[in-house]
Amino acid sequence: MGAKIQVTRPTKIELARLKRRFRLATRIQKIMKDRLSILVMEFLETVKECAVVKERLVNEFNEAYRALSVTAGYLGSENLEKALFALEMPLKMTGRTRNVAGVRIPVFDVEKDTGVAARTAVRPGMTAIEEDTLSVARRCLESIIELAELENSLELLGAEINKVKRINNALEYNVIPALHGTIRYLNMKFEERDREEGARLKYVKLLIEKREAYAY
């Protein structure tokens, strides 16, 4: 027989308490398995999104490098360096969280390159080449923020998956088998006790019957 729970007094009340603990542990294990499935599905989906964003970011970096090279050739390295120091890129970003199976994951919402935020970065006299370079740089920045959000989500989900796995393994391989083994042991002990008690009662009944027979 496997591991058992330590029982101070093997009574019927203790057996009922162990059975309640066994039912509770079984329900908790089912909840942990369902939660683990949700977390793993979300983790795999986030991995796919992360791969897509990384590929897009590499392409945007290549595009930004080409745009910067063209701008450097048009303005000259010295003028480009001055323009970069004077350049401001307004970026409005709001933060919130979303709940995934009990895990609070941060989400960053970046305002798109439209409206006032886009026009503010364009200074008077800026050429079309500079505006294109600025637009590409902004897209790179937005992708970097999105990638940071996804990688942070992967880290949080991975940590929670490991935690839930440890709890599920403890329930499946330690707590539930120990409770089940103890319940079986107590049931066998009580059944044996009941059989012994029944045998004693039969023996006492037989003695009483014999004594009554001799009395007549």
Q: Where are the domains positioned within the chain? A: 12-215
Average pLDDT of the chain is 80
How many Å apart are CA 112 and CA 119, to the nearest integer? 12
Residues pairing with 109 in the sheet = 94
- Find, among 145, 129, 134, 165, the residue nearest to 43 by Cα: 165
Q: Enter the pTM of the model.
A: 0.72
Dump pLDDT digits (tens) for 157-209.
999 999 999 999 999 999 999 999 888 888 888 888 878 887 788 877 777 77
Confidence of residue 90 (pLDDT cuts 50, 70, 90): low
**Res 10: pLDDT:** 77
- pLDDT per residue as tens digits for the range 37-46: 999 999 999 9
How far apart are alpha carbons 23 and 208 in whole angstroms?
45
DSSP 91: -
Q: CATH code for 12-215?
A: 1.10.287.3240
